[in-house]
Chains A and B, each alone.
Chain A
Amino acid sequence: GAGVSQSPSNKVTEKGKDVELRCDPISGHTALYWYRQSLGQGLEFLIYFQGNSAPDKSGLPSDRFSAERTGGSVSTLTIQRTQQEDSAVYLCASSPVGPPYEQYFGPGTRLTVT
């Protein structure tokens, strides 16, 4: 079946502009996650959605970052007033119901803030 998809694959934006990153999870997966990977680094958790529960926003680095998930499926990560330090690859993952809840990742969006 289809995997996790993300768009755009690449985004170049000017400092101070807002950007929206989109994630389409695997059909039937109830949990959706956003991570950020800076150059040569490991993955940093940003936000987690599970069904209709309130999202876990504990990893969002500042109030310029927000995310929503509509209809329990597609998610959008929004970064307002982008800064150069926001440049990274933004990865989305989804996981199925039931253990071990392994996460399947999309190809990522490479964001470059100039």
Chain B
Amino acid sequence: AQKITQTQPGMFVQEKEAVTLDCTYDTSDPSYGLFWYKQPSSGEMIFLIYQGSYDQQNATEGRYSLNFQKARKSANLVISASQLGDSAMYFCAMSAGFQKLVFGTGTRLLVSP
């Protein structure tokens, strides 16, 4: 069975600063995918970034990067140059066999001016 752990219920960051949201995972499958989603107060789930278990390089998408440390089973999301619009819930998720996603409990990020 897969499990995702997000230990930070809430994080605060000032505008223009970088912030790291933690995610650790557990799985016995050798092939898996790791995903981050953003959920603003409006409720929609927005796909941010993906990392495959066999990818050699850390994934990046604009201001988002995924710090993938396979041996430590961690997949932290780094948001650079935070913006007020980044305030939201952030969910880490994984899939094995690229099927259903298993989600963590989320981290609420608040960006202050």
Q: Which of A13-46 contact B (CB under 8 A)?
A: 31, 33, 35, 41-45
How far is B102's CA from A56's CA once the two chains are assembled, in angstroms? Answer: 14
Summarize A's interface: helix, strand, loop or mixed: strand
How many pairs of A and B residues are in contact by the CB < 8 Å rule?
57
With A42-B106, A102-B35 already in contact, the answer to whether A107 and B44 are too (CB < 8 A) is: yes
Residues of B contacting A43 in the complex (Cβ-Cβ under 8 angstroms): 45, 91, 93, 101, 103
Chain A interface size, under 10 / 10 to 19 / 20 to 34 / 35 or more: 20 to 34
Chain A residues engaging chain B, CB cutoff 8 angstroms: 31, 33, 35, 41-45, 48, 50, 56, 59, 89, 91, 93, 99-108
Chain B residues engaging chain A, CB cutoff 8 angstroms: 33, 35, 37, 43-47, 50, 52, 91, 93, 95, 98-106
Give 16 pairs: A residue, B residue, CB < 8 Å, sorted on A.
A33-B100, A35-B101, A42-B104, A44-B103, A50-B99, A59-B100, A89-B43, A99-B33, A100-B50, A100-B52, A100-B98, A101-B98, A102-B35, A105-B44, A106-B44, A108-B44
